[in-house]
Structure 1
């Protein structure tokens, strides 16, 4: 202990002397000292001063820059990286140092690494882990802290940078994933890996502690893993717990998706001015081979719990765009199809790219697709990834419908910020609108607001002809519900559309004057 104290005392003395002799104050006196040496001793003394003075300082260890004390603590035996506590400590230091910390935390995990261990064996899996760590390091800066969090999971504490925001972290996450695009060579074998990523910005975490920031990033990673391999998720304090267990297992639901048992059925939307079709809404339906048609409320929560929301979304989008192409081939006029995107899907920063690619693949104008989002998503408008996705759809030219309007308490400012094209009036306001004056007043107020904001409105859950007629009288331009038609499979839409077009054509023929 005494030796340690003495060494620390000597180190402090050296630091003081080093500060004195290499600091800016010495720069002011060095020319005067050199001039004095030349004045009193001539060139000989000047040469001696120039050669001997720095050498004496070096011998004393004063100009030798000491290595910083890293104190990384224990390390992982395989990757030789610091462990979780080091990452927490780094985040804590950043929080104490900065009034408005911009140091973010990223957590990522190699997908299906357990399968790699079983296929390759533990020794080769360790080599793969080391190779993965090296690829991660190649993307990071020397000042960023990379740690091993156990298993196939890593964490990064980003050093302070000029810009640490949502876009920067999405780009960095994409670069981390791009580092794994090429195969990894391990013992004469080429291994392909994907990485799921979750990250958290300190400003988004309610509890400003290092442990809380890391936990938030891990929660975002868990969301990414539920969404499928290679996903990216940002932490939002509105992330919800997964739905409770259901009688339908994840394996059963996945099998139903893969076997084509779960497909979209289409419910028409009509114009109250012309009676013509405004579009269809695609709604997921499960036709079980033994149990028959299963209600959406009976399997959608279990599907979300199993992390299959994005898989369902991809399937519904594909079948909806296929239906549009088939209606076009049959000469049937279907302006657009509305597809619901879940909260999980909208938090995927790559959702827009996937949808844009599908529209291009099907050679469809983006205006033929309407993106439906729940009002509760807009009400919880602090999720920047969701905002970014919706804004991108609007900029592309897709319609954006705000579903279940009136139930989520979204503010007018948030509705405007999301660039909504049309609001869907919830059925709770539509029921008995033909006989209830309060319902009529509420609908009239909503329609006035929509008109002032430059948006259209569609009423859903219209179940009687009286409700349909009253909505048209109040000025609601579009309606949808059982009074028009129930959701139907694609094959049934063909005959229904042909009948509708005949009715519209007949009603548009004006009688001749006598």
Structure 2
């Protein structure tokens, strides 16, 4: 990498670098807060604020990176400055500009870089705010915007540092000129003018109090800081009465005590406080006060500078807010919780304490039905209700998504606490109005009370509360569950069955059974649904209902889904080769298969390798898949499959929150009418009405309907009479191994 050629802009840029008066040991706490925050929120190994000098890159603020400087010849940020805009490289080792850089092919072996130029003046970039990582990665547009906002704050702090350096230099020059005032009156006048300009830039005002005459002078800028007219007289100041109108009694007392103590010790006083201006505006100010003494050591003059640091405080306050608060709801975020929850509980150990987790039920349906703006409004409404109904010593946290956490400390007993949480649950499920629309969510609440007399770690309580939430959801949602020790046994059982299933998959103990889908008109074969079975040691084949935790685990769900896909394709290929007209094989697909595993590409390519047509395999998804956290990936994956000619079936239709919404938004070919409606339609007028409505809707939309759970001839005849042409259920066949169903259907066809 070469250093940019010297030009007019480079000369001006280097002059701006010199103006910062950097040294090898310069420290910038405010910038350190930014780099630490950036490293934390982006999850990278390092974050830096860099200044690119003539031959050296100064790393003036570092988080997760030790070197204070880097030769400019090896500087990654030098490229960012050369192009004058943001630079994001997902893999440095694959970029020709950096492949030979020792920072890439030697320790620390950097792979990822993202830098935003710090433009201190128009066209003048001193360095960057940059992220580095030893792993390849990328940034979303939202993350790039966040990084740019942090760069804006860093640039503002560098400008403030530059202005402070200017003031310090000018002040030193002024002090030197004062000692030779008689010989250099012209120079002094010039320096005073420069000082006025610097003070205006840095929002600094000067004051001078003659302690012998009790007369005071304030500069025009100092009066402006106090919202005073520049001609306003200051008057007597020996008793500090002139400050009483601007400062609270408490702050004024602190200042007077500090001034007298500094005078006694012959020290310079630095002091920060707030004031209320003549127009009632609140400002933060920083004072630097010095004293002049006569030959007997008596103070004769008090003088100094006052700087308006309100903008600085607001910037730091905003940075603190971003670090500790959820920007959507204003509640504390996960980072703040992890730092403070233990201390919060410890400080209130004399109270009833614990942690409750609230998981919203039905929130995903609102997002899908009305959009993220409605979802955001819902979360803000829930946060408002939490603030109104939680105790004063409760810490309210939104860790993310549709989950809230309550760090509880209250004077009530445990039973009363449960009653308050039940009341809170009822408040949460009250209707929410948004733009003329009314929607409703509920909450599954898990409570983990701290054991009396034992200081428990907050993360331990969170884990217990999560188990309680799982219990609440298993009990039907919209209820409160309290942690008990047996929940750990449930979690252990879940862990053990997942571990055993992992070994069973490796040992080949999973297989597929096939249940036929029938044309109701002539009872001929339309296709099969592939159903998972797990061979048990006693020879029995277990259905998925016996090992649901396995299918709810993301990793195992993907692995088993891949097994089902591969085995169904192999069976379809064997049947096709043997001349058995099987119609199609439908496979159930989970949301985890659509997320980052290349499922769609693998399905398409595997079918092509096996010589199958797109119509030979059908994909079934439930509404739970469409409402999962990976719903966007699911929707795009289904569209790609549909575009390729693979038919999509909406399984268990009518049992979820937003079946009609998904039917409208996604291109489904088949609607599988849930067996709960089929079983009760002959005895329940309501369910019969639902069946008729679904069949009418499907006919108008041109969708095929398969009725699940058909067990009697009367059910089959009723469905056919109402326009349902396909059925599946025990009336026709139970799920059976491939060889058994093939033999049965071949025998039936030969008989016909």
Q: Same fold (TM over 0.5)?
A: yes
Determine whether 1:284 maps to 2:269: no
SS at match of 2:514: strand
Q: 1:136 — aligned with what?
A: 111
Q: 2:633 — aligned with what?
A: 385
Alignment partner of 1:146 out of 131, 140, 164: 131
* d(CA) in 2 for partners of 1:360, 1:341: 19
- Change in CA separation of 1:258 and 1:441 when aligned onto 2, cut-off 3 Å: same
Determine whether 1:86 maps to 2:45: no
Provide Cα deviations, 1:348-397, integer angstroms capped at 9, x if missing partner.
Answer: 36221111121122121112111100023335698211111111111111
Q: Are the counterparts in 2 of residues 265 and 285 from structure 1 also a CA contact under 8 Å?
A: yes
Q: 2:689 — aligned with what?
A: 441
* d(CA) in 1 for partners of 2:596, 2:543: 27
Structure with the higher fraction of residues in strand conformation: 2
* d(CA) in 1 for partners of 2:661, 2:721: 29
Give how far 1:466 is off.
1.5
Determine whether 1:338 maps to 2:338: no
- Change in CA separation of 1:422 and 1:306 when aligned onto 2, cut-off 3 Å: closer
Alignment partner of 1:419 out of 667, 680, 698: 667
- Change in CA separation of 1:133 and 1:450 when aligned onto 2, cut-off 3 Å: farther
Determine whether 1:397 maps to 2:350: no
Give how far 1:131 is off.
6.8
* d(CA) in 2 for partners of 1:131, 1:500: 71
- Change in CA separation of 1:206 and 1:408 when aligned onto 2, cut-off 3 Å: farther
Q: What is the aligned residue count?
A: 351
Give how far 1:436 is off.
4.4
Alignment partner of 2:606 out of 349, 358, 362: 358
Give how far 1:65 is off.
7.8
- Change in CA separation of 1:207 and 1:281 when aligned onto 2, cut-off 3 Å: farther
Q: 1:328 — aligned with what?
A: 576
Higher relative contact order (CA closer than 8 Å, sequence separation 6+): 1
Q: Are the counterparts in 2 of residues 401 and 420 from structure 1 also a CA contact under 8 Å?
A: yes
Provide Cα deviations, 1:12-42, integer angstroms capped at 9, x if missing partner.
Answer: xxxxxxxxxx99xxxxxxxxxxxxxxxxxxx
Q: 2:32 — aligned with what?
A: 73
SS at match of 2:711: coil
Scaled by the length of structure 2, the TM-score of the pair is 0.40
* d(CA) in 1 for partners of 2:13, 2:534: 80
Q: 1:266 — aligned with what?
A: 514
Provide Cα deviations, 1:438-495, integer angstroms capped at 9, x if missing partner.
Answer: 4332211110011112211111011112111211111111100111100001111221
Q: 2:541 — aligned with what?
A: 293
Give how far 1:258 is off.
1.6
* d(CA) in 2 for partners of 1:356, 1:399: 12
SS at match of 1:431: helix
Aligned 1:107-506 pairs, distance under 5 A: 134=109, 136-137=111-112, 140-143=113-116, 145-146=130-131, 237=401, 244-246=491-493, 248-290=496-538, 292-305=540-553, 307-348=555-596, 350-379=598-627, 383-502=631-750, 506=752
* d(CA) in 2 for partners of 1:475, 1:132: 70
SS at match of 1:463: coil
* d(CA) in 2 for partners of 1:392, 1:359: 15
* d(CA) in 2 for partners of 1:404, 1:354: 26
Task: Report the aligned-residue RMSD.
Answer: 4.7
Gap runs ≥5 in structure 2: 1-7, 23-27, 45-85, 92-101, 117-128, 147-325, 338-399, 404-443, 445-465, 471-490
* d(CA) in 2 for partners of 1:157, 1:328: 46
Scaled by the length of structure 1, the TM-score of the pair is 0.57
Q: Are the counterparts in 2 of residues 269 and 478 from structure 1 also a CA contact under 8 Å?
A: yes
* d(CA) in 1 for partners of 2:684, 2:721: 14
SS at match of 1:273: coil
Q: Are the counterparts in 2 of residues 277 and 334 from structure 1 also a CA contact under 8 Å?
A: yes
Q: Which has the larger radius of gyration?
A: 2
Q: Are the counterparts in 1 of residues 587 and 620 from structure 2 also a CA contact under 8 Å?
A: yes
Q: Are the counterparts in 1 of residues 39 and 131 from structure 2 also a CA contact under 8 Å?
A: no
SS at match of 2:626: helix
- Change in CA separation of 1:312 and 1:154 when aligned onto 2, cut-off 3 Å: same
Q: Are the counterparts in 1 of residues 498 and 549 from structure 2 also a CA contact under 8 Å?
A: no
* d(CA) in 2 for partners of 1:367, 1:383: 24
Give how far 1:497 is off.
1.5
Q: Are the counterparts in 2 of residues 147 and 155 from structure 1 also a CA contact under 8 Å?
A: no
* d(CA) in 2 for partners of 1:160, 1:306: 26
Q: 2:224 — aligned with what?
A: none
SS at match of 1:246: helix
Q: Are the counterparts in 2 of residues 381 and 387 from structure 1 also a CA contact under 8 Å?
A: no
